Structure 1
Amino acid sequence: MPFKRPAPLEASSSNLSSPSDSHLEDIEGPSKRSKISLPTKVLPDIKLYVIQAKLSSPRIAELFTLAEKHCQKLCNDIDEADVVVTAISMRRRLERHMSWEVATTKAVVTPEWTLPCDCEETDYGSTQSPVAYPSSSASAASGSPRQRKASHGKIPPLDLSAEIRVEVPSHLLPPRDPVPTNLERLTYTSRYACQRASPLLCPNQELALELDIIRRSRALEGEERSALSYARAISTVKAYPHRIKSVSQVQRLPHLGAKISGLVEEFLDKGQISEARDIMTSERFKTLTDFSSVYGIGPHTARRLFDLGLRTFDDLEVYYGVDPAEVDTELMELEHEENHPGWKGRKAAQQQDDFDESWIKIALGLRADLSKKIPRDEVDEISKVVMHELEIIEPGCVSTIVGGYRRGKPESNDADIVFTHSDGPKVKGLCKRLVRQLHKQGMVSHVMHLSSFHGHNPLRTTHWDSLEKALTVFTLPKSSSLYTGTRRRLDLIFADPNVYWCAVVGWSGSIMFQRDLRQWANDKCGIKFDSSGITRRYDSKPFYPGTEKEVFDLLGLEWVDPTWRNTDV
């Protein structure tokens, strides 16, 4: 039933009363149906300030209308207010809008205190009007709710010191006891990397590194098929559990054809591969490697720049007109993100070669910091700081650090965090809100990519998933014990809770493991799998795994712990 607004009582000097008058009724806190006992007298000249966060536009308009109707003065300065109206129920969130010292000197109330209730629910008569009474002292902010409600003429302030605990469903939490990998049921002779156990360091690591030099050269030269062949061979070598002493040991292994077997034989004879050594001494290889290390410059652009005669980073800075001293002033303004060179936004390119020159200029200026590896303890600290800020804007989120960190690497090129909320559909857009919060706190300075969520598409052929994600430049706050001022690559991925574990699997890597996981799903199961979900191809039926292991179970695969998914070097 809609509210029935009583006619305002005409105020006069004879019927005015102070908040401490004993004949005023006690103000009872709102119940689930917003029952409110209102005072029988009107106090004019009450100064009201409305914190508009978490209030809808119609709600704000209604509050303003009622305040003006019932002799309450609206003010623009929170320090001048007697009463602060807010829907915020956590202290640390309130402190984003007013200091705690100020809050303890005001009556901090919910919107229900100023709204008239349903006439059928409250017996206050048609001559009453809604009004909020301020606390008489800062001590009103303390004491139990029962004690505060017993104080005549005083509004019981919100208990903002108590944290709101949002219960997280158990299926979104990692298992208490890690699921062990049954290595005996994994076979290094499988053609699919997702059926092999690949440790971080294998018995044939030196051979894998030599082959990887050739793979990188092929990729830089745009020879994708050849690069893929070497990547497959490396993944096979990484999974082989014995030291290779003769070519006969690898003749039956998958993806090791005659060409690569010959390279293996050369390595066994000489301890190195001559082609790899020649590549390493090549000026072209060194230059293309350096150029493609700049975020936004892919192999195609690197080759074009090399053909123009550029050879060093100094050449790039001159070519793009970069002044490294100006980078620190190029802070992102989210209110004008579409026009800011540090913000790629929703239209950001999915491939590095598609980035425009404005971003390349910024990436060049950030190169010195972004090229540094991130140790594990700093990745932990970044996650801790990010989740603290996320809890402020949306309590109840859970997260997993993914990428190379999760596979056990001692250092990472960037920090990758997948997070979700049990009420996923209601918090879409959370990734952008988190980026805004981190930027407001001075932690995020640039955004290289920002995308919104799209449903899982079983017909999509690209592997760039449809999750909400933000690829950012992040700096730890000065309050952190690990603060050095070094800027880091931070990728934030927000997944719907139904596909959270798909996102965790998809973003944990490594590249060849993920590639073969998708290939296996297609070849053996007739299923489309990527980080944004699992669907059956012939009827698009979705599947929602409740744990990370269930992803493997749905695909008919033996469980492989992340530390055994290191198919690259």
Structure 2
Amino acid sequence: MELQTGSQARSPSTMTLSFPIIFLLSTNLGSEELQRLEEQIPTLTYDINEAEIVLGKVFRKERALFELRKHKLATEEVDPLERSAPASPNPKRAKLMTPAPASSDIDSDTASEGEIQRRLAGPSPAEPTVRVVKLAWFTDSVKTGVVLPTDDYLVYEGRKVPPTAPAKAPQPRPAEKVAEVMKRALADASSSPRSPQPRPSHGRRGETYASHPVRPLLRQTTSEHDMDTQLPPIPDYLHTPYSCQRPTPVHPPNEAFMAELDKIKTARTLTGDKIGVRAYSSAIATIAAYPYTIQTAQEVARLPGCGSKIARLFQEFKDTGQIREAREDETDPKLAVLKLFYGIWGVAETTARDFYNRGWRDLDDIVEYGWDSLTRVQQIGVKYYDEFQTKIPRAEVEAIANTILEHANRIRQGFQMVIVGGYRRGKLESGDVDVVLSHPDEAATHNFVERIVVSLERGRYITHTLSLSTANSERGQAPVSWKGDNRKAGTGFDTLDKALVVWQDPVWTTGEARNPNPHRRVDIIISPWKTAGCAVLGWTSGTTFQRDLRRYCKKELSLKFDSSGVRSRKDGSWVDLESGPDGKPAPDMLTAERRVFAGLGLQWRPPEERCTG
């Protein structure tokens, strides 16, 4: 069927306003609000050192100072009297300076954008400053259509203190100069006349940070300069903000560098730095899709989603074979404990931090002091911790999946199955086993998850059933409604019938009295045939691929995608992408998946090209 496209363009009010460079704090922001604000802020940076404004739900100076320290930005507070009185010019440069008019006297038609930004942000001292302002400043500015002065929203203002460095080390570039360099780089990158708007035309979130030039910040030898003039062209598909439109192989040419970045991303995850996780996820996904071995930091800097910070990290990696921050994270005793707890099945990063804050430092502490406070899933995760950490070879994944399919067809002939997850993306070993089962007869999949679990338990394959969801059957196997019905709407993978179980092969040939076979984590997902393609697509692809697929559907097509199907965001109706032109259902689950790609206007990407991590 023909899709109703309705790309949701960025609000014209934010596109035309000249905001200073903004760093957004994730503190006290929900994931949806955080993503919405990231998409609205046209001058967003992921590097707090480049920011003129630090924006967030912060109301006290003490909290503002804590956030700056947490992000390793050292400052000296600006005296309030210094803000209220005009700054005294340096006598040696008095002839080169002219008095700055009050912000109310600015002529927006004649003043430069940088000048307007500086007046609105406040007096510009000799050293670059940063202002921590309340979130209401940005939202009120958007509502009024004018970038408001920050004075009424100011929580804290401080001069940026450069890190300890040799006496001859270059001083930090003033923030307003950084802003101008950024704008020139963006104009060059888009091959268009310089524009006062510091965003590229495709509206990529955070591209202000992503496109910072790094040549003034990086050493470059003559040979590197010569090499820089002969860099391979950036593939067209890398200019899209959606990783679901790119081929991302399981073993990209820059895998070693990506592994270092992934260690930093994991540390950001464990410490609750949502913005940092998004920034590193985007950079890693871009580098994973880059088809050439990176030679210079300048080559990294030009890639969408990377920018100066990732370029500096590459230079460090190239020079030393490692990244200091990644090494420090690996040796940090607190992070080591958080990683241990995060590895427990059923424990998310917030729970890992809660365990740590209770004073627990290892699994024995959990068992001794907190066993009764754990959920059943977490108790099983602790009990079989070492076994669950052991990877599952492909042959064993296939054996487990074939057993599941065999039992399904014993109950009702005609079931089809696809092994999804990392196995389907080509990984040699998997952390768990994920399978999607479906049947052309919709009646066969109704409440089938309960029957398959009972059959496998009787065969002594399933030792523990930790979660059994029949949500899809309870709503008549209809795709989850989109804000239309009174039915409870779920999201993501929880919208299908599924069972999360612990698996152990009951057959062993050794003379041991107890079963020596390891316990494995297995997810059994049941999908009705009419949306099996969405289920296979959702459960196969890498995390960033899935995230960007949902963003693509929302922004470009006004649709909502999850593993239970596709719905219109306009009227909540189900959008059938899997039936053929004659209205007949797909002949198999893999054909249905291809039809979903085509129906969404996406080029087909085999599973081995969806390895975004």
Structure 1-normalised TM-score? 0.59
8 Å Cα contact 1:186/1:195 also seen in 2: no
Q: Residues 376 and 466 of structure 2 are in contact (CA less than 8 Å); yes or no, is this contact kept in structure 1? A: no
Shift of 1:320: 3.5
Alignment partner of 1:529 out of 561, 565, 569: 561
**What is residue 427 of structure 2 aligned with on the other side?**
409
In the other structure, the counterpart of 2:405 is: 387
Q: Secondary structure at the match of 2:453?
A: helix
1:519 is the counterpart of 2:551? yes
Cα deviation per residue 1:252-308 (whole Å; 9 max; x = unaligned)? Answer: 322113322322222223221111111011111111011111112221221122123
Aligned-pair distance for 1:206?
Answer: 1.0
Helix, strand or coil at the partner of 2:272: coil
Match for 1:508 among 540, 543, 559?
A: 540
Aligned residues: 352
Following TM superposition, by how much is the alpha carbon of 1:389 offset from its aligned partner in structure 2, in angstroms?
Answer: 1.0
Aligned to 1:83: none
Q: Once superposed, which parts of structure 1, at least 4 consecutive aligned residues long, lie more than 6 Å away?
A: none
- Once residues 294 and 288 of structure 1 are traced to their aligned partners in structure 2, the CA distance between those partners, rounded to angstroms, is 10
Q: Name which of structure 1's ranges 526-535 and 245-254 shifts more when overlaid on structure 2.
A: 245-254
Deviations 1:346-389 (A, max 9, x none): xxxxxxxxx94343222211212212110000001001111111
Deviation per residue, 1:449-473 (Å, 9 max, x gap): 2111143223458434411011110
- The equivalent of 1:471 in structure 2 is 500
Deviation at 1:426, TM superposition (A): 4.6
Q: Secondary structure at the match of 1:520?
A: helix
Matched, 1:433 2:451: yes
Is the 1:402–1:416 contact (alpha carbons within 8 Å) kept by the matching residues of 2?
A: yes
1:47-126 correspondence runs (5 A): none
Amino acid at match of 1:294: I
* 1:206 paired residue number: 256
Instruction: Give me the whole-angstrom Cα distance separating, in 1, the residues matched to 2:493 and 2:509.
Output: 34
292-301 vs 279-288, which moves further: 292-301
Instruction: Write out aligned runs for 1:43-442 (5 A).
Output: 187-321=237-371, 356-442=374-460
In structure 2, the partner of 1:493 is 525
Determine the C-alpha separation between the residues in 2 that align with 1:185 and 1:254. Answer: 11
Question: Quick one: distance in 2 between partners of 1:536 and 1:397?
Answer: 29
Taking the aligned partners of 1:490 and 1:357, their CA distance within structure 2 comes to 18
2:482 partner amino acid: P
- Alignment-derived partner of residue 557 in structure 1: 602
Q: Which of residues 458, 464, 468 is equivalent to 1:450?
A: 468
DSSP 3-state at the match of 2:570: coil
Deviation at residue 404 of structure 1 after TM alignment: 0.1
- The answer for unaligned runs of 5 or more in structure 1 is 1-183, 323-354
- Percent identity, aligned pairs only, is 36
Contact 1:186 1:196 in 2 (8 A): no
Query: Aligned partners of 1:463 and 1:193: how far apart in 2?
Result: 18
What is the rounded CA distance, in whole Å, between the counterparts of 1:414 and 1:291 in structure 2? 18
Q: Partners of 1:293 and 1:444 in 2: how far apart?
A: 22
Distance 2:509 2:530 in 1: 34
Contact 2:558 2:570 in 1 (8 A): yes
- 8 Å Cα contact 2:533-2:596 kept in structure 1: yes
Call closer, same or farther: CA 1:208–1:320 in 2, change over 3 Å. same
Unaligned runs of 5+ in 2: 1-233, 484-488, 579-585, 587-591
**Cα 1:230–1:463, aligned 2, differ >3 Å: closer, same or farther?**
same
Secondary structure at the aligned position of 2:291 is classed as coil
Give the superposition deviation at 1:480: 9.5
For residue 17 of structure 1, what is the aligned residue in structure 2?
Answer: none
Over residues 486-543 of structure 1, what are the superposed CA-to-partner deviations in whole Å (9 max), with x where a residue is unaligned?
A: 1100000000000011100000020001111111111111211111101222132421
C-alpha contact (below 8 Å) 2:250/2:611 kept by paired residues: yes
Matched AA of 2:576: F
Partner of 2:322: helix, strand, or coil? Answer: coil
TM-superposed deviation, 1:186: 7.0
- Contact 2:330 2:336 (8 Å CA) reproduced: yes
The letter for the 2-side match of 1:373 is K
- Matched-pair contact (CA < 8 Å) for 1:509–1:565: yes
SS, match of residue 239 in structure 2: coil
TM-score, normalized by length of structure 2? Answer: 0.55
Q: Secondary structure at the match of 2:238?
A: coil
Q: Is the 8 A contact 2:508 2:516 kept in 1?
A: no
- Encode CA deviations 1:197-250: one digit per residue, 9 max, x unaligned: 111111111110111111001111111221111111111111111111112212
Aligned residue type for 1:429: N
Give the 3 Å change call, closer, same or farther, for CA 317–209 of structure 1 in structure 2: same
Asked whether the equivalents of residues 407 and 508 of structure 1 are also in contact (C-alpha less than 8 Å), the reply is: yes
Report if aligned partners of 2:300, 2:310 keep a CA contact under 8 Å in 1: no
Contact in 2 for aligned 1:320/1:361 (Cα 8 Å): no
SS in 2 for 1:200: coil
SS at match of 2:390: coil
Offset of 1:484 from its aligned partner?
5.1
Contact 1:186/1:197, CA 8 A, preserved across alignment: no
* Whole-angstrom CA distance in 2 between matches of 1:359 and 1:267: 40
Structure whose CA Rg is larger? 1
Q: How does 1:535-550 map to 2 (within 5 A)?
A: 535-539=567-571, 540-545=573-578, 546=586, 547-550=592-595
1:418–1:504 CA contact under 8 A, matched in 2: yes
Q: CA deviation at 1:478?
A: 0.8
Q: C-alpha offsets along residues 171-215 of structure 1, whole Å, 9 cap, x if unaligned?
A: xxxxxxxxxxxxx99723322111111111111111101111110
Q: Larger helix proportion, structure 1 or 2?
A: 2
- Aligned partner of 1:285: which letter? L
- 1:357, 1:319 → 2: CA distance? 14
